[in-house]
Amino acid sequence: MANIVETAVAAGTFNTLVAAVKAAELVETLSGPGPFTVLAPTDEAFAKLPAGTVEGLLNDIPKLKEVLTYHVLAGKFMAADVIKLASAKTVNGQSVTISTINGVKVDGANVIKTDIETDNGVIHVIDSVILPK
């Protein structure tokens, strides 16, 4: 089984996320033992951001790391675990809000695919990039 980064690369729908993870030098961390739960925005999710946002983040590595670590939970949380929570603390220290009204949402982003298991955690796919407060 592949790790989180290898799985994201192989999927082919997370090119922006993978490029951001590489730029922020988080590949080694997210390839490590974990376990981690990654709320992974698709390339389409990144494309919804205002023009220049992704480029701006790629030029501000501390801010990029802050945004990326806001998409990561320490521990392996399968969908069945996530739906029991009202919030979850992210690796960057802030918490995301979880809602199960009209589908599962994390900070307003729809969870569109769940439980993509990797050898060091799990990926849940979201349709928007979530930003720390």
Closest by Cα among 106, 112, 97 to 43: 112
- Count of structural domains, the chain: 1
Residue 103's CATH number? 2.30.180.10
Q: What is the pLDDT of residue 88?
A: 97
Q: What is the pLDDT of residue 68?
A: 98
Q: What is the pLDDT of residue 43?
A: 97
Task: Please report whether residue 132 resides in a domain.
Answer: no
Closest by Cα among 121, 125, 113, 132 to 43: 125
CA-to-CA dists, residue 108 to 24, 33, 87, 99, angstroms: 25, 29, 12, 8
Task: Please report whether residue 95 resides in a domain.
Answer: yes
Does the pTM exceed 0.85?
yes
Residues of the chain with pLDDT under 50: none
Task: Please report whether residue 131 resides in a domain.
Answer: no
